[in-house]
Amino acid sequence: MNNFVSTYAEDFNRLDANGISSWYEFPLSVLTPQGNSIFNSAEDFTHSVEKLLEVYRSFKFSHAEIVKESSSKGLHGLNQVDVVWRLIDQQGETIIEFDISYLFKEKEGRARLCGVVSHNEFTEWQKKLKLAKS
């Protein structure tokens, strides 16, 4: 349970939408303060992830760092890991920092993500995009 985030980060850092999507189980719920999305298939989710990765690329994304990580073992096989991510650009500067929670279960010896709570990523991107336009 403790190291799946760093392994997940490898696909994330390669900006590999298919690799990222392979961690998830569908249908998948992604909850945000702005609204909730349900993805019924890997194809739908991969398309959405690719759009987000285009934003990352536009800010010269280099890699993501785990600033803070805490996990809790849940009931009946569902677990949660809370992560503060910091996105770093090619000059070593912070692009944004955001909080996200992943709900997962162990399946066939691997963590399978079955829900995401994106607490403030969208808001942080809005701020960053607004600053970029100034």
Two tokens at 4?
A: 């799946």
Q: Which helix (H) or strand (E) holds 120?
A: none
Place of tokens 């010269």: 60
Would you state the structure tokens that stand for residue 58, as one six-digit string?
């536009």
Q: What is the pTM of this model?
A: 0.91
What pLDDT, in 10s, does the model give residues 66-121?
Answer: 999 999 998 898 999 999 999 999 999 999 999 999 999 988 888 899 999 999 99
What pLDDT score does 30 carry?
97
State which CATH number among 3.40.50.720, 3.30.1060.10, 3.10.450.50, 3.40.350.10 fits the domain covering 4-133: 3.10.450.50
**Domain boundaries, given as residue ranges, for the chain:** 4-133
23 vs 17: CA distance, rounded Å: 10
* pLDDT at residue 3, as a whole number: 75
Alpha helix stretches (DSSP H) within the chain: 4-13, 17-21, 42-58, 121-133
